[in-house]
A and B are shown apart, each in its own frame.
Chain A
Amino acid sequence: MTDSKTLQYPPLRRRLYSVWYRHMRVYTRNLLSNGFPPFVEPFIFLVGIGLGLGNYITEPIGGVRYIEFLGAGLLVTTAMFTSAFECSFGTFIRLEFEKVYDGMLAAPITVNNLIVGEMIWAGSKGLFFSFAVLCILSAFKIISLPYGLLAPLVGFLTGVMFAALSLLVTSFVKTINHFNFYFTGFISPIFFFSGVVFPIENLPRPVQPLAEIVPLTHSVRLVRSICMNNYKPILLLDLLYIAVFILVVGYFAIRRLRKRLVN
């Protein structure tokens, strides 16, 4: 007896969405405690560093007041930090301690879907955190609004970029403490040397090309142009860098994590 029945498993975009939806639901479960920091942190930072320290920096930087210079940078550093945490500690906990991925992979999604969904989620968090900074900046009239509204999109790209990188790092990590090397050795330094707190032109000349290798530099240049509404052709190279970085690093992250998820 052969009788066949047609069923349909979800298409790619629904599979990615279901991964994204899972993370979104878990994140918004504690909306107050999770949603508070992205607004409060930039506020404290601007008050402490921007207004406090900024009073001593009277010279304009790149044609703007120091607080405007710093504020624009914060739009992307916040996306970097949230995404880096999400896809390092967060991913590692889901992978090793909570075994969340084991359950998800029994549902009709592939390892690729799972990891790409993870990156899109981290990008979304980057967008949201960037938006939170935008709210604070516009409340303090540090940013002029119609142009600035595009900034969260750079937050999204920054989020995806650091998700890919952090997932690749996670694929090497055996114990959770190893992430300290990543954060102290990589994430913290690039906060200071990617043109966020001072322009990269102020770095010693031989070191300047190194800053171009660092992913955040390109996000910073994009977001500054958006804030100042001043677009230059070099931004196309920054966009290209980001696209290539996401594809190449993302590809290796998926390849390496697959080995840990499917044996």
Chain B
Amino acid sequence: MLSKEVVVQMTKTAINVENMSKSFGKIRAVRNLSFSVESGSCFGFLGPNGAGKTTAMKIIYGKCTRDKNPNSRMDIFGYDPATNELAIKYLSGVVQQENNLDDELNVIQNLRIYSRFYNMPVKVATQRIESLLDFLELSEKKKSKIKDLSGGMKRRLVIARALLNSPRLLILDEPTTGLDPQVRHLIWDKIRQLQKNETTVLLTTHYMEEAFQLCNRLIIMHKGQNIMEGRPERLLKENMESYVLEVRDYEAAAQIAPEKLSTNVRADRGPDVMRYFSNQIDLLKDLADSHLKAGNYLIRQTNLEDVFLKATGRQLNDRQ
């Protein structure tokens, strides 16, 4: 037999995971995680370092094995990574946290090597590589050495490598960490284009902006657990007031007596900043006008980061 057949179920749900857990010795990296991802959507994992995001991703593409548990089920395009890792890997493209490129080879050779892993005929591979370099705006660099590439270019090359086999599932583990805003926006743009072509995307990040821009749905993980899940706008709306007044100076904040606060204002004392949340911006403005000097405070709309910090706590934990 020449090849192994992979039958792709083109169902509405691309990924369905039930009760996925992973322990490393005493550390429970992932605890009973369940989620499902619609075909063609972008699904985000948010969480502080050490929350278990990367481990969850690795279990999906077979780099980690999940703990054995009779109640645990995984279905990725109809396959379970514990028994069918090759089928899943064949259908997926993975961008890992580290840019593990072959420094000895140039840009185009790096891609050519990987085209062999997918058994692409040389002619098909050559065309595919050309179009991917074009897509990720690397065509001018195709003969460059890896060490001559900037961080953003290396990242784009790793993304190109993940896209070689036109994956139905693209796994991105912190794709834009450490990159400048231009590159970040370019990468976001490309991810959106891929989604239009029905590519399902799994993304981990700790940039709230990135999650907000890209994800149709996301879960916030903390200490291996799913602590919040939903569409980004809804998560914001359901868990957070619309506005926040931030006071950077505790002495100034002390002017505001807690017992005098309206019931429509919630106070939150952070390690460095005092915050007052409310759905009514006028209440916050009155509060600021009557107690604070201009320049001592800031009133802004709340964002996903506020939800994230509320959910995961402001203190560092031992895994960060």
Contacts and interface: CB of A to CB of B under 8 A. Distances in A.
Interface of A: 1-11, 14-15, 17-18, 21-22, 25-26, 29-30, 98-100, 102-110, 262-263
Contacts of B4: 8-11
Contacts, number: 119
Contact of A25 (B5, B103, B113): B113
Given A1-B11, A262-B63, A26 B104 contact: yes
B124 interface: no
Contacts of A1: 10-12
Given A2-B9, A105-B63, A108-B118, 7 more contacts: A5-B10, A6-B6, A11-B3, A21-B116, A25-B105, A102-B98, A103-B161
Interface string B86-103: 110111111010101111
A102 B113 contact: no
B49 interface: no
B89 to A, nearest CB: 4
B114 interface: yes
A2 B64 CA distance: 30
Contact of B119 (A10, A26, A100, A262): A10
Interface in B173-194: none
Contacts of A99: 96, 98, 100
Nearest 3 CB-CB pairs, A to B?
A107-B117, A8-B3, A106-B94
B316 interface: no
Given A8-B3, A99-B98, A107 B118 contact: yes
Nearest to B6: A7
B275 to A, nearest CB: 40
A135 B1 CA distance: 40
B102 A100 contact: yes
Contacts of A103: 96, 100-101, 161
A26 B102 CA distance: 8
B62 interface: yes
A17 B119 CA distance: 10
A21 B24 CA distance: 34
A99 B154 CA distance: 15
Nearest to B9: A4
Interface of B: 1-12, 24, 61-65, 85-87, 89-94, 96, 98, 100-105, 109, 112-114, 116-119, 161-162
A21 B98 CA distance: 23
A21 B113 contact: yes
Nearest to A29: B104
A172 B109 CA distance: 32
A30 B103 CA distance: 12
A9 B7 CA distance: 10
A262 B5 CA distance: 24
B56 to A, nearest CB: 13
A106 B63 contact: yes
Contact of A106 (B7, B8, B61, B112): B61
B167 to A, nearest CB: 10
Nearest to B93: A106
A2 B12 CA distance: 8
A5 B64 CA distance: 28
Contacts of A30: 104
A25 B89 contact: no
Contacts of A100: 100, 102
20 contacts: A6-B8, A9-B6, A10-B117, A10-B119, A11-B2, A14-B119, A17-B116, A18-B117, A22-B113, A26-B104, A29-B104, A99-B98, A99-B100, A100-B100, A102-B96, A104-B117, A105-B63, A106-B96, A110-B85, A263-B65
A51 B87 CA distance: 58
A139 B1 CA distance: 45
Contacts of B6: 6-9
A263 B6 CA distance: 25
B232 to A, nearest CB: 27
Interface centre among B8, B114, B117 (most CB of A within 10 A): B117
Contacts of B116: 17-18, 21-22
B89 A107 contact: yes
A263 B105 contact: no
B291 to A, nearest CB: 54
A220 B127 CA distance: 49
Contacts of A22: 102, 113, 116
Contacts of A105: 62-63
A98 B10 contact: no
A107 B87 CA distance: 10
A262 B64 CA distance: 5
Contacts of A10: 3-4, 117-119
Nearest to A99: B100
A144 B290 CA distance: 103
Tell me which of A3, A10, A15, A22 has the highest count of chain B C-beta atoms within 10 A of its own C-beta: A10
A14 B11 CA distance: 30
A6 B103 CA distance: 35
Q: A14, A99, A107, A263: which has the most chain B beta carbons within 10 Å?
A: A107
